[in-house]
Amino acid sequence: MNSHRKKPDIVVICGPTGIGKTSAAIALARLFHGEIISADSMQIYRHMNIGTAKPTSEERAAAPHHMIDIVAPDEPFDAARFAREARSAIAAVADRHALPIVTGGTGLYIKSLTQGIFCTKPVDPALREQLKKDMDRMGAPALHRRLRQRDPETARRIHPNDAFRIIRAIEIFETTGKPLSDHHSAHRFGETHFRTLKIGLEMERPALYDRIDRRVDIMLEMGLVAEVRRLLEMGYPSGLKSMKSIGYRHMADFIEGRTTWVEAIRTLKRDTRRYAKRQYTWFKADPEVRWVPPHALETMQDWITAFLN
């Protein structure tokens, strides 16, 4: 399937949360002797299973999965590390003459994997600590306004409540003297490592949002609250980056008395729908993505067959 004389072939299955990427990828893996490379920024964490919609043991038995359960919830992890480790996994899959199927909704991970990522100077730990203090004291929207003054283009792409990305963008500006948007323009993510077919899954927004609401209900029935409580008891505080993600921060806020049960569920569903909208925006900006409904497996099969041949 892959030759040493050319770049490895990979298929990317992307799209918003809750649309059925895992099911589609497993079906395609069985058709094409494939192995799945997860491109999900939350499924990398051990002990975080329900809230990340991690593939079940049955799903993992149906097709080999990689880049899942590789770090602890308090271990640093970023897109650059993901790209390095995912490339190693893809190389091993290709050596087995199997098809790497990159599956997930973390757009930056997929972009970093397929096109590279620019490198910056190391961040001053004192600067990062000060920004975190500013975030705790003033809130994410205030730092977002600060970012808008320094780098309006990047600020437009980052949600005012996305604390991690806001801090990172300000760090880059303060460390290099140049806005993140300038680094992106200079790098242009131009280095390609693979021959890639990108397939995006889409459906009508009302139908997707209904799926998301049902999925949240299922996660709660499966024991999401108990999972978050167990993580807190294991010593992973709610202030961790991983614990501030969708689902985990909502349940931690309820457990630690910062919100009511009804409000926690309402905001969890709302924030998941908003996240899905941002994912659509990211992937729709990529002209290489071919869009198809999640149930159109025959169409996906035809595209992959033509791509490989």
- Provide the CATH topology of domain 125-186: Histone, subunit A (1.10.20)
Q: What is the 3-state secondary structure (H, E, C) of 160-211?
A: CCCHHHHHHHHHHHHHHCCCHHHHHHHHCCCCCCCEEEEEEECCCHHHHHHH
C-alpha distances in Å from residue 279, one per residue of 53, 194, 304: 16, 23, 23
47 Rama class: left (phi>0) / alpha (psi -120 to 50) / beta: left
User: Would you state the torsion angle of the CA atoms of residues 82, 84, 86, 91, taken in this order, to the nearest 10 degrees?
Assistant: 180
β strands within 39-107, DSSP E: 65-66, 99-103
Cα–Cα dist 160/236, whole Å? 25
Contact 96, 78 (CB under 8 A): no
Cα–Cα dist 157/255, whole Å? 32
C-alpha distances in Å from residue 277, one per residue of 205, 270, 290: 9, 11, 18
User: Would you state the torsion angle of the CA atoms of residues 13, 15, 19, 23, taken in this order, to the nearest 10 degrees?
Assistant: 10
Listed in sequence order, the residues at least 6 apart from 19 whose beta carbon sits closer than 8 Å to its beta carbon are 201, 202, 203, 208, 211, 276, 294
Contact 140, 92 (CB under 8 A): no
- Evaluate whether the domain defined by 9-118+190-204+282-308 bears CATH number 3.30.420.40: no
pLDDT at 4: 46
Contact 82, 109 (CB under 8 A): yes
Cα–Cα dist 38/54, whole Å? 10
pLDDT at 159: 83
- Provide the CATH topology of domain 207-277: Helix Hairpins (1.10.287)
The residue ranges of every structural domain in the chain are 9-118+190-204+282-308, 125-186, 207-277
Cα–Cα dist 56/108, whole Å? 25
pLDDT digits (tens, 9 = 90+) for 163-199: 878 988 888 888 777 787 665 555 454 557 899 999 9
pLDDT digits (tens, 9 = 90+) for 4-47: 457 899 999 999 999 999 999 999 999 999 999 999 999 999 99
Give the pTM. 0.78
Cα–Cα dist 265/286, whole Å? 32
pLDDT at 62: 96
pLDDT at 3: 42
Q: Which regions of the chain are under pLDDT 70?
A: 1-5, 117-123, 181-191
pLDDT at 132: 85
pLDDT at 118: 56
Tokens of 180: 């993140």
